[in-house]
Amino acid sequence: MVLSPMRNLLVTSALPYANGPIHLGHLVEYLQTDIWVRYQKLRGNRCIYLCADDTHGTAISLRAQNEGRSEEELIAEMSESHQKDFADFGIEFDHYGSTNSEASREICHEIWAALREADMVVEEEVEQLYDVEKGMFLADRFVRGTCPKCNSPDQPGDNCDSCGATYSPVELIDPVSTLSGTRPEIRSAKHLFVQIEQLHGFLEEWTQSGTLPAESANYLKNFFLAEPLKDWDVSRPAPYFGFEISDSPGNYWYVWFDAPIGYIGTTKEWCDQHGEQLADWWKNEKTEIHHFIGKDIQYFHTLFWPAMLKTAGYSLPTKVHIHGFLTVDGDKMSKSRGTFIRAAKYLEHLNPSYLRYYYATKLSAKVEDLDLNLEEFVARVNSDLVGKVVNLASRTAKFVASPGLSETYPTNDEGLFEKFAQQGDAIAEAYEVGNFGKAMRLIIELADAANPYVESNAPWELRKDPEKTQQLQDVCTVALNLFRTLCVYLSPVLPDLAAKCGELLGDPITSWDQSKKPLSGTPVAKFKHMMQRVDAKRIETMIEESAAENEAAAAATTPALSFDDSGEFLSENPIADEIAFDDFAKVDLRVARVVEAHEVPEARKLIRLILSLGGDERRQVFAGIKAAYQPEDLVGELVVMVANLAPRKMKFGVSEGMIVAAGPGGKDIFVLNPDEGAIPGHRVM
């Protein structure tokens, strides 16, 4: 790639939602972006990095309500906490704003006016469930109820976990608001829709024009652009925490309408603070706009967002960089396992540089998930950074502390400096396209070449011979220059290390081109440790603490879920001897439906049941449940029967199996019913 002399770059990360703290998953994106931005700045490009808190929507209101304070208080605190976490990880924004700002409000109105003018806005009545007690409409995720297709109870508002049916929450049988526990009613309200289908052709072209990773372009092509695009519902009726729509009082912009606009609003704030013109950044062909986002929010950024920009006459994103999700040791982050780790928690135990480097080794330009393998994390950081890179300085710097670097750079460095300098282009290219993993591999490859040089030139031997002081100084000058070049290359990832290298050699690292010219004749400071090795025990502690915190938090929010079951029955009836699976499998348990149930007048404990196993298969079973059940209550019920039990002649007839029930006996007998969805004949295993 040809890098023009000086580019103008506007870079954003997705706006974190003001509903919770930053965790290691978020950091993939902010570190990725920060590294890219630092790289661009190091190259001498004009680059501003902007971000903001995403503050609107129902979830914010609910949380504020639960905490008994205003939305404004909540988002102010969140913003502060987010910014602290970012700063502590070395993520340097040029400006950090909020979607709840005057600047953002202005741009929302402006873009809205443009959509109106383009005749892209339509009104439609939408039926939604309304929680009378809370006084608000309920998003799908706040409703549960019985599936209209299969009658499974307690299903989510948009689809059934049991039969997989999708539906609208208004179709639910017996809907319940998860917010108040009351039954919501169906109400109709006016919503405003944007007809992005009008820009179908434009979006098709734009999404396929190389602005997106190939995976994403294909995805959009197949899933969205193959058919007419649906109108986008961009309004929510009051009460809603957000901006009221000027020409539609009582309606507010949906959080996903104003979130991306926050990019522009934040730019405007930055411009106002720095005497810059917004148009130079957002209405200027020469400015590149780069968004970094996760794959979960692709379609907001690649369909709605460009449609809005296009309509309002703003520049379109030059590139949308899309990353995957973080897993920890191969699994999704888990609160109970303690792998859901807050940024602040990490920092209590570990150095941010470790994570910056580790993520860098794992990031590529592809849309793929990134695994934080904790064992590898320790190995990589300790081996690569401490063992190879920093080691170069720590094993040589002290030999030249008094004379400093040689007056001129030695000619006999085995071509190493030149080799290091030449690799710079390949490393730069890898940074530029977002393939940080490759950049790190190339850099560590160089470090691997540098250590044998020190080894074979053995400065610790040269030191013993007063005749060889010049040679000693030269060897160390070479090693330290190689170290410095590595620090230049690593500085987007490890600004701290670069700063320490600058202090050691008395020459701050500020430009990529410092990798091209060796340093000579300068003093060398007393060597101080630049990076501690990762202590694996701290990781363990961090995980344990995270798990404990999450457990405590979960317990606090779900007090209803505390159980206090007596162990009495179990102690009186100890568990039987262990059996092999095969022994259990001999028992053929089946779901059966009670099709008839009859009194047996002469029997003290028995009821005569006719069970159906589906089709024409019928069994007569005498069940000892007379004290606990009325026959008429059993007809139609599903039960579990032992289907292959040898028939038994009884006084009142032949019993062809038995049904299973729990309890101590007498009146306390509880027949087992399968959960919803089971049908007669199903085997029970």
Partner RNA sequence: GGCAGGAUAGCUCAGGGGUAGAGCAGAGGACUCAUAAGCCUUUGGUCGGCGGUUCAAAUCCGCCUCCUGCUACCA
**Which residues form the interface with RNA (CB under 7 A)?**
126, 158, 166-168, 191, 214-215, 218-219, 222-224, 227, 229-230, 233, 295-296, 299, 324-325, 330, 332, 362, 364, 366, 368-371, 373, 375-376, 379-380, 383-384, 386-388, 390-391, 394-396, 398-399, 437-438, 441, 444-445, 448, 451-452, 454-455, 459-460, 529-533
**In terms of CB distance, is 139 or 635 closer to RNA?**
139
Q: How far is the CB of 191 from RNA (least distance, A)?
A: 6
User: What is d(CA 238, CA 137) in angstroms, rounded to the nearest whole number?
Assistant: 9
Q: How far is the CB of 19 from RNA (least distance, A)?
A: 18
Q: How far is the CB of 425 from RNA (least distance, A)?
A: 16
Q: How far is the CB of 284 from RNA (least distance, A)?
A: 31
CB 622 within 8 A of CB 606: yes
Residue 566: exposure state from Cβ atoms within 10 A (0-12, 13-18, ≥19): exposed
Q: Using the CB atoms, write b or e for 265-277: b if 16+ within 10 Å.
A: bbbbbbbeeeeee
CB 643 within 8 A of CB 588: yes
Q: How far is the CB of 56 from RNA (least distance, A)?
A: 17
**In terms of CB distance, is 77 or 448 closer to RNA?**
448
User: What is d(CA 59, CA 664) in angstroms, rounded to the nearest whole number?
Assistant: 47
> How far, CA to CA in Å, does 536 sit from each of 211, 370, 373, 377, 381?
41, 21, 12, 9, 11
CB 211 within 8 A of CB 322: no
Q: How far is the CB of 624 from RNA (least distance, A)?
A: 42
Q: How far is the CB of 64 from RNA (least distance, A)?
A: 24
User: What is d(CA 70, CA 135) in angstroms, rounded to the nearest whole number?
Assistant: 17
Q: Which residues contact 148 (CB under 8 A, 6 or more apart)?
A: 165, 167, 171, 172, 173
Q: How far is the CB of 13 from RNA (least distance, A)?
A: 19
Q: How far is the CB of 282 from RNA (least distance, A)?
A: 26
Mapping DSSP to helix (H, G, I), strand (E, B) and coil, where does residue 638 land? strand
**In terms of CB distance, is 107 or 390 closer to RNA?**
390
Q: How far is the CB of 166 from RNA (least distance, A)?
A: 4
Q: What angle do CA 455, 458, 462 make, to 5 degrees?
A: 170
At position 30, the amino acid (one-letter code) is Y
At position 336, the amino acid (one-letter code) is S
Q: How far is the CB of 156 from RNA (least distance, A)?
A: 12
Q: In what order do the strands lie in the sheet with 331-332?
A: 331-332, 326-328, 370-372
**In terms of CB distance, is 363 or 542 closer to RNA?**
363
**In terms of CB distance, is 251 or 391 closer to RNA?**
391
User: What is d(CA 105, CA 130) in angstroms, rounded to the nearest whole number?
Assistant: 28
Helix (H) or strand (E) run with residue 299 in it? helix 298-299
Q: How far is the CB of 613 from RNA (least distance, A)?
A: 27
From start to end of 344-435, where are the E strands? Answer: 370-372
Q: Beta 8-13 vs 287-294: how paired, if at all?
A: parallel
**In terms of CB distance, is 47 or 543 closer to RNA?**
543
Please give the torsion angle defined by the CA atoms of residues 588, 589, 595 and 601, in that order, rounded to the nearest 10 degrees.
Answer: 90
Mapping DSSP to helix (H, G, I), strand (E, B) and coil, where does residue 8 land? strand
**Terminal alpha carbon distance of the chain:** 61
**In terms of CB distance, is 312 or 328 closer to RNA?**
328
Cα 640 to chain center, whole Å? 43
HSE toward the beta carbon, residue 148, CA cutoff 13 A: 12
CB 518 within 8 A of CB 316: no
Q: Which residues contact 522 (CB under 8 A, 6 or more apart)?
A: 404, 405, 505, 506, 507
Strand partners, 597: 609
Q: How far is the CB of 255 from RNA (least distance, A)?
A: 13
User: What is d(CA 615, CA 496) in angstroms, rounded to the nearest whole number?
Assistant: 74
Helices (H), 433-563: 436-457, 459-462, 469-490, 495-505, 536-557
Q: How far is the CB of 479 from RNA (least distance, A)?
A: 9
User: What is d(CA 637, CA 629) in angstroms, rounded to the nearest whole number?
Assistant: 12
**In terms of CB distance, is 276 or 371 closer to RNA?**
371
Q: What angle do CA 179, 182, 188 make, to 5 degrees?
A: 85
At position 288, the amino acid (one-letter code) is E
For residue 538, how many other CB atoms are within 10 A of its CB?
15
At position 506, the amino acid (one-letter code) is G
Q: How far is the CB of 383 from RNA (least distance, A)?
A: 4
At position 532, the amino acid (one-letter code) is Q
